[in-house]
Amino acid sequence: MKPLSAKLPAQIVAENMAELQSPYTPQEAAVEASRCLFCFDAPCIMACPTGIDIPSFIKKIETENIIGSARTILSANILGASCARVCPTEVLCEGACVMVDRQRDPIKIGRLQRFATDYVYERGIDVLKAPAKKSGKRIAVIGAGPAGVGCAAELAQLGHSVVVFEKKPLPGGLNTYGIAYYKMKPEISLEEIAMVERLGVEIRCGIEVGQGISAARLQQEFDALFIGIGLGEGQAIRIPGEELHGVHDALDFIEEIHSKPLPEVAVGNSVIVIGCGNTAIDAITQAKRLGAQKGIVAYRRSEAEMSAYHFEYELAQHDGATFYFNVTPIELIGDEAGQVCAVKFVRTETSKNGQLTLIPGSEFTESADMVLKAVGQSKQSVWLTQNFPALRLDKRGVVERNPLTGQTSVAHLFAGGDCANGGREVVNAVGEGKKAAHGIHAFLGQSDIPAPRQPSRLGVNGDARGSGLEAPIRAHELEKLYFSEAEHHG
């Protein structure tokens, strides 16, 4: 990335990029937990793609059993600490909370989850353990992002040996490199990964499958493989001027924020983001918080059609970003030094059949010294077909797999996360990795190994919920119990 000057003193940047939500104090957590109704058929559980037993972990906070609360969370979702920060809880668990129907504030499930998980991480308490009995099976996981880590941690708890191959220098994928800094710092992600390593998972970073080690060799050396490689590079916008200095992929900009001291991150004075999904919002809010004077998000369709969550949209507006709807860039204009200095737009309108048309004569130019492209990521179809030629992809270029087990068209290959679902939330990726772990477990004929603790469907009164299921569960039973609900509500 071409260096632009840093815009603000270090202290201001640190304040701007500090986590948006302060952690609960024990008293605040207890008060919030006491509001929960501990619903019998808790809709919040159904709305969680990893099926965390939410009323149970909240009850444990209320009764000051914080370690037990964290265990309930982390047994269901190994990345519970990061999901507490990055999940769009407004549209998942909190959006489903019965309090909303009663015109009251939903229980702050995300903040309570953070309270419990922070408690054990801050004290170095490991609440999960791998079983002493080992299966003797070895599984390779490709990609140390949320899907790969979710799969690896579950496999380790099922007694298998797991090696994760990650091409980047650090594990964690999006959680380490791609979350807006004010939502979660990379250290949280790395702490979670360290906990997964303590379960016995080996993570080898800086190794790209297909370069450092071949996919064929992995298939010879391991009993099964999980592919969790996420999505590829950001998409091009394919207009003149895209090669100019100051034009970047929004994900590269966000990754730079995670890769160097904040005051050294280059940001323009006038930043235009093309696209209006959640990545676009993360890019513009961070650009503003790093000191950009002007921040514009330009989207070719209407406000009603943007894919960004409304609460993210409001945050960006609060940070001073301006939104241009129904405009599309047609040229990036550079100065004599090859630096972008403006974007030429044309206005659009949507016809009744949903087609976009350009409005002749409506062109206008907006100055910018930084343009960030946030128009989606490419699929990994080239890498997939080169390394696993027998793998079937669907017409979108993502891996076809059984959504309940993660099993692909090749029996010993499993897949999950963005490379299989096309791009969803972190929590969906963790849930899919976990499902695939059980798919692998069943494929390897290991269903007599006790399954890890899972939420029970029993009620709160005299219940087994959150106490963990002590009896071994066979893979097909677990599938019925957990997978069907998680898939339906994910």
Would you tell me which residues interact with ligand SF4 (CB under 6 A)? Answer: 36-39, 42-44, 54-55, 97-99, 107, 109
Angle at 339 between CA 338 and CA 341, to 5 degrees: 125
Closer to ligand SF4 by Cβ: residue 109 or 316: 109
Cα gap 429→421, rounded to integer Å:
8
Contact assessment for residue 96 and residue 47, using Cβ atoms and an 8 Å cutoff = yes
* In the complex, least distance from residue 99 CB atom to ligand SF4, rounded to whole angstroms: 5
Cα gap 368→350, rounded to integer Å:
26
Closer to ligand SF4 by Cβ: residue 39 or 190: 39
DSSP state of 263: G
Closer to ligand SF4 by Cβ: residue 46 or 442: 46
Cα gap 252→255, rounded to integer Å:
5
Contact assessment for residue 375 and residue 235, using Cβ atoms and an 8 Å cutoff = yes
Cα gap 175→192, rounded to integer Å:
10
Q: Please give the backbone phi and psi of residue 271, each rounded to the nearest 5 degrees, phi first.
A: -110, 130
* In the complex, least distance from residue 488 CB atom to ligand SF4, rounded to whole angstroms: 17
* In the complex, least distance from residue 97 CB atom to ligand SF4, rounded to whole angstroms: 3
From the CB of residue 484, how many other CB atoms can be counted at a distance below 10 Å? 11
Cα gap 40→59, rounded to integer Å:
13
Closer to ligand SF4 by Cβ: residue 45 or 436: 45
Closer to ligand SF4 by Cβ: residue 54 or 61: 54
Tokens of 92: 């998942």
**Cα–Cα nearest to 127, from 172, 73, 53:** 73
Closer to ligand SF4 by Cβ: residue 42 or 306: 42
Closer to ligand SF4 by Cβ: residue 104 or 392: 104
* In the complex, least distance from residue 460 CB atom to ligand SF4, rounded to whole angstroms: 9
Closer to ligand SF4 by Cβ: residue 107 or 280: 107
Cα gap 41→458, rounded to integer Å:
9
From the CB of residue 332, how many other CB atoms can be counted at a distance below 10 Å? 24
Closer to ligand SF4 by Cβ: residue 108 or 288: 108
Closer to ligand SF4 by Cβ: residue 43 or 450: 43
Contact residues for 281 (Cβ-Cβ < 8 A; gap 6+): 297, 308, 312, 313, 315, 316
Between strands 138-142 and 224-227, the pairing is parallel
Cα gap 253→373, rounded to integer Å:
10
Sign of CA dihedral 168, 172, 174, 176: negative
* In the complex, least distance from residue 468 CB atom to ligand SF4, rounded to whole angstroms: 19
Cα gap 478→464, rounded to integer Å:
16
* In the complex, least distance from residue 423 CB atom to ligand SF4, rounded to whole angstroms: 28
Closer to ligand SF4 by Cβ: residue 101 or 221: 101
* In the complex, least distance from residue 189 CB atom to ligand SF4, rounded to whole angstroms: 26
Cα gap 414→289, rounded to integer Å:
40
Query: Letter for the amino acid at 218?
Result: L
* In the complex, least distance from residue 80 CB atom to ligand SF4, rounded to whole angstroms: 15
Closer to ligand SF4 by Cβ: residue 55 or 439: 55
Tokens of 336: 């004599």
* In the complex, least distance from residue 61 CB atom to ligand SF4, rounded to whole angstroms: 11
H or E stretch covering 175: helix 174-177
DSSP state of 393: B
* In the complex, least distance from residue 458 CB atom to ligand SF4, rounded to whole angstroms: 14
* In the complex, least distance from residue 41 CB atom to ligand SF4, rounded to whole angstroms: 9
DSSP state of 481: I
**Cα–Cα nearest to 171, from 146, 153, 136:** 146
* In the complex, least distance from residue 37 CB atom to ligand SF4, rounded to whole angstroms: 4
Cα gap 257→43, rounded to integer Å:
37
